[in-house]
């Protein structure tokens, strides 16, 4: 651990580090039992400390602690279907610090696995969280990665998740990023995938920005293989002075490739701001890409429907937004 981080962790009882992380994990919606159970593969990392790790048959997790974080390598053997979800718990309990997780996922041919990740920074005042993931899904592999963040209420955090995914023939990848409770801080998602023949890549982002939160979601799906499919779906709500920008790009380069960008950004209040930049590029006359974006106020008919059942306008908007972000 770097001296800087060590200093920041001063005052924390290290024997309790795991308990503190688990407490934070719970705040972000995780269930602590799964981190202690043998039935679930799991990995718990606080700052640059690997505090817990459990492997199951067919799934290997290697870790190397670095100055500011951890290097992680996850491998799933070909043909293996991991029964239970793999739980990942990352975070930093102190108010300040840097956590850098560099990860590499290699999912073997025809293997199947689901990851549930929670990233918790409950006291964040000056934190930077970098996630650099390289993901490779071999032929016919299936992977679901669902990540939920919790950053406390102050918004003193910068989160930079970068993903580079490669999907080989027939692979299916579903990626979800969710940050709907507490503050966001500054979030910049950078996701790029290369989608091979008959492979399917679906990415979902759900974020609720408040205060001075700043959200940038930049997604790019490159449909390289014949009959590949891509979906980039974002649901963002912002209030106060928060801002969000969604850049959804799909490139249809292969025969019969299909892609769709679906973006809804809701704005509440006069000082918030949303923007959407869909970019579709087609280079094959049998490919087809579509996009729909609805940005601004909540759908009026939805609001009026709920008001006709007796909800005030604010209550109606709350119900609609929380449904959208569920």
Partner 1 sequence: MEDTGPGQGGAERLHCVVRFSEKNEPGYDYGQSDLQNLNNGTMRLQIEKLNVFVNGYHILKDVDLVVYKGEIHSILGANGTGKSSLAYTIMGLESYEVRSGRILFEGEDITRLPVWERARRGITLAWQEPARFEGLTVRQYLLLSRRASKKGPPPEEALLRVGLEPSRYLDRALDESLSGGERKRIELASVLAMMPKLVILDEPDSGIDALSINFITDSIRLFAKLGASVLLITHHEEVAAMADRSSTMCGGTVLKTGSPDEVARFYRLHCRECEHVNEPEEEVARNV
> Where on the chain is the footprint of partner 1 (CB under 8 A)?
235, 299-302, 304-313, 316, 319-320, 322-326
Q: Which CB, 149 or 235, lies closer to partner 1?
A: 235
Rounded to a whole number of angstroms, the minimum distance from the CB of residue 234 to partner 1 is 12
Contact 169, 137 (CB under 8 A): no
Any residues with CB less than 8 A from the CB of 47 and at least 6 apart, and which? 1, 5, 9, 69, 92, 97, 99
Q: Which CB, 227 or 235, lies closer to partner 1?
A: 235
CA distance 298 to 4: 45
Q: Which CB, 271 or 304, lies closer to partner 1?
A: 304
Q: Minimal CA–CA distance to 117: which of 143, 80, 156?
A: 143
Rounded to a whole number of angstroms, the minimum distance from the CB of residue 177 to partner 1 is 16
CA distance 159 to 119: 10
Contact 173, 143 (CB under 8 A): yes
Rounded to a whole number of angstroms, the minimum distance from the CB of residue 248 to partner 1 is 17
CA distance 106 to 77: 9
What is the full DSSP assignment across 251-299? EE-STT-EEEEEEEEEE-SSS-EEEEEEEEEE-STT-EEEEEEEEESPP
Rounded to a whole number of angstroms, the minimum distance from the CB of residue 84 to partner 1 is 23
Rounded to a whole number of angstroms, the minimum distance from the CB of residue 98 to partner 1 is 35
Q: Which CB, 284 or 299, lies closer to partner 1?
A: 299
Q: Which CB, 51 or 319, lies closer to partner 1?
A: 319
């Amino acid at each position: 651990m770097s001296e800087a981080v060590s200093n920041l962790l001063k005052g924390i009882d290290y024997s309790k580090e795991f308990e503190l992380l688990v407490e934070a994990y719970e705040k972000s919606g995780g269930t602590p039992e799964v981190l202690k159970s043998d039935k679930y593969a799991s990995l718990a990392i606080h700052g640059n400390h690997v505090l817990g790790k459990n492997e199951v048959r067919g799934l290997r997790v290697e870790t190397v602690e670095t100055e500011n974080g951890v290097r992680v390598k996850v491998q799933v053997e070909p043909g293996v279907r991991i029964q239970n979800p793999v739980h990942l718990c990352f975070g930093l309990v102190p108010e300040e610090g840097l956590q850098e997780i560099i990860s590499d996922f290699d999912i073997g041919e025809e293997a199947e696995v689901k990851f549930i990740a929670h990233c918790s920074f409950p006291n964040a005042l000056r934190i930077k969280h970098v996630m650099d993931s390289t993901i490779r899904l071999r032929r016919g592999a299936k992977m679901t990665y669902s990540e939920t963040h919790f950053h406390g209420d102050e918004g003193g955090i910068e989160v930079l998740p970068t993903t580079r995914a490669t999907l080989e023939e027939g692979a299916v990848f579903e990626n979800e990023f969710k940050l709907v409770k507490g503050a966001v801080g500054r979030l910049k998602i950078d996701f790029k995938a290369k989608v091979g023949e008959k492979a399917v890549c679906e990415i979902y982002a759900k974020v609720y920005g408040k205060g001075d939160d700043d959200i940038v979601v930049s997604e790019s799906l490159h449909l390289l293989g014949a009959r590949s499919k891509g979906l980039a779906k974002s649901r963002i709500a912002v209030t106060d002075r928060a801002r969000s920008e969604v850049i959804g790009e799909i490139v249809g380069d292969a025969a019969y490739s299909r892609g769709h960008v679906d973006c809804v950004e809701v704005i509440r209040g006069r000082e918030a701001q949303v923007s959407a930049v869909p970019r579709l590029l087609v280079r094959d006359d049998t490919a087809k890409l579509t996009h729909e974006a609805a940005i601004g106020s909540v759908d009026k008919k939805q609001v009026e429907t709920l008001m006709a059942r007796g909800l005030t306008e604010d209550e109606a908007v709350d119900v609609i937004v929380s449904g959208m972000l569920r």
